Structure 1
Amino acid sequence: MKIFQAIIIILIWAIPIFSIRKTYKKMDNEEKQDVKDELKNPSFLLFVFTCIGFQLFITGNISGNKIMQHIGAGLVFSGFVSGCVGAFRQRNFKKGIGSMLAGGIGAVIYFI
C-alpha cells in the first residue's frame, strides 16, 4: 500500500509540473513574456499558493502527515479569502460572495 501511496504523491506533483513546462516550451516569445509578467502579479501568486495548498492538503491526506495537511488547508483558505477580496476590488460582488461562501463552507467542513 505504501508503494501505491508514493506513486500517487509523485503523480500529484509531477503531472502539473511537466504539463506546465511542456506548455511553456511550446509558447512563442511574446506569450512567454506575458506569462512572466503575469507571474509578477500578486493575485496570480495567491492563486498559485492556493493550488500548491490543495496539493499539499491531498499529499498530507494520502501520507497521513497532519502538519502538511493543515498547511495545505491554510493555503487554500487564504487563497479563497484573497480571491474574495480581489473580486470585491474589481466590483464583482457575485464572484466575491461565491468565493467567500465556498471558502467558509470548506473551512467549516475541514474543521468538523
Structure 2
Amino acid sequence: MNEETTIDTQELGEKIVKVLKTIYDPEIPVDIYELGLIYDVFVNEEYEVKILMTLTSPNCPVAETLPVEVEEKVKSIDVLKDVEVEITFDPPWTQELMSEEAKLELGLL
C-alpha cells in the first residue's frame, strides 16, 4: 500500500485549510480562512476538491485574482486530482464571519 492510499479526506481537509491560511486578502492583514471568506471545502474519495468561498464585496479588487490564487495554491497539494473554486455572495460576507483571532488582529474586539 503506497502513501497516497492512506490519506483520508479529513486529513486532506486539514491540509487544504493550512494552505488557505497562507492566502491573504491584500486589503486586510488577515488570512482568508480567518476572515471567514471560505464557506465550505468539499473533498471526495477521488481527491477532487470544491471550495465555496466569497469575497469581502462583489467589487473586491482581487475578485479576478484571489480565486485563481486559491485554486493554484490548493492544487499544489500533490494527491489532489482537481480543485474547483466557486464564488458566492449568498450569504454576503460580513464581519460576523471573521474568527475571534481575525477580529482581535483588526482591533474589532
**TM above 0.5:** no
- The structure that has the greater radius of gyration is 1
Per the normalisation by structure 2, the TM-score is 0.30
Per the normalisation by structure 1, the TM-score is 0.29
